[in-house]
Amino acid sequence: MPRLTKPLTATEVKTAKPKDRNYKLSDGGGLFLLVQPSGSKLWRMKFRFNGKEGLLSFGQYPDVSLMDARKKRDESREMIVAGIDPREARKARIEANRAKTEYTFERIARDWHTDKLPEWQPVTARNTLNRLELDIFPVLGNLPIADITHQQIIDVLKAIELRAAETARRLKSTLSRIFSYAIQRGIIRHNPIPDLIDVLNKVNKQHFAAIKPSELGPFLRTLETNRARLFFPTQVAVSLMMMTFVRTSELIGAEWPEIDLNNGIWRIPWQRMKMGKRKINPDMTDHRIDLPSQAVTLLRDLKAVTGSGRYLFPNQRGHDKPMSNGAILMVLRRMGYQGKMTGHGFRTLAASALEELGYRREVIDRALAHKERNKIQAAYFRADFMAERKKMLQDWADYLDELREKNQ
């Protein structure tokens, strides 16, 4: 028969004096008061779990009274009976409390942002953080990420949607990635964003404005009537974009060493191409354009004007920088095509018109520098379509000339 332990009294606990070495005052059920030579009185509980002995600490007297210590002992014994290790339960409580004080949404979001920096372009990193700082952190930033509710997320997203629907949609995606990041770190167990399927109104995807192939003739006529109002380099830029349908950034950043006038080739370094700028698995293939004869003639004339500098199309305010990104849009606005045509629209226009003229889509895609996902096919396209691409660009330039003559 186990020996019964006489419970301690509040007076015994209070009057217990220190000795030369540690000693214990037992209260029963594994609970005891450890009195140290320094005078400290510490509550401890000895227990067995799964056949192994363990020790719990309940704090120091008088911060923890005899009654409080007994309450902690009884709670721990109930856990043991239920098959729960009280030490693990305590760790879980500590971690939960830590999550509420340390793992705020803003802290986790900033950690996620920092971890993504090696993968992002600087502009992506800057824009992502700016959107969070402007719209999310003021509302959710100080909240423990584990405690954020569906309704709190809905409220903040709907408020943003009233001002900018597309921004709300992008931020919803960003929030989902942050919550997923918190799951991977073991901070939370559930991502609430996938539950919010119908929270935001559907946004119709907006394509870059572009005229139809049937509208190309009148467009060329309008361009001719406006040439006198444009600087010569700007005239060449618009014409070259129409003939080669490169991206606006690839056009305005063009440098003279990229141009081989003798052979009629424009080789854009992969570092300037859209897929080459990716930090993860960039496409390190230069984009070759076999220039039509009309483009070569224009570029020879342009070289007499800007050939002494670095850029084909230098900025009018300083030739050490390229033409402004909005220069093409300004031309289109002067022509009366604002909202109807964009720099990117030349690519859409050319792709549609060339298909109508009978060219294969894969040849057009390679000329547009669209990336082929299949690496084997991509290598084949680069090697086998160059002759077709060269002929296509010359045919396209001739076609533009024919339309221009018909509409004069």
Question: Annotated active-site positions, please?
Answer: 247, 274, 344, 347, 370, 380
SS3 label, residue 208: coil
Tell me the C-alpha distance between 272 and 249, whole Å.
Answer: 8
Nearest to 329 by CA among 246, 227, 401, 237: 237
SS3 label, residue 129: helix
Q: Which two tokens stand for residue 57?
A: 């600490």
Q: Residue 23 class from Cβ within 10 Å (0-12 exposed, 13-18 middle, 19+ buried)? A: middle
Contact in structure between 398 and 208 (CB atoms under 8 Å): no
Contact in structure between 80 and 47 (CB atoms under 8 Å): yes
Report in angstroms the alpha-carbon separations of 59 from 56, 85, 322. Answer: 9, 19, 70
- Alpha carbon dihedral 105, 107, 113, 116, in 10-degree steps, equals -100
Tell me the C-alpha distance between 41 and 60, whole Å.
Answer: 6
Nearest to 335 by CA among 208, 191, 227, 243: 227
Nearest to 79 by CA among 67, 92, 62, 65: 92
- Alpha carbon dihedral 156, 161, 166, 171, in 10-degree steps, equals 0
Contact in structure between 270 and 287 (CB atoms under 8 Å): yes
Tell me the C-alpha distance between 198 and 205, whole Å.
Answer: 17
Q: What is the DSSP string of 341-406?
A: --TTHHHHHHHHHHHHTT--HHHHHHHTTPPPSSHHHHHHHHHHSHHHHHHHHHHHHHHHHHHHHH
Contact in structure between 214 and 149 (CB atoms under 8 Å): no
Contact in structure between 400 and 292 (CB atoms under 8 Å): no
The DSSP output letter for 16 is P
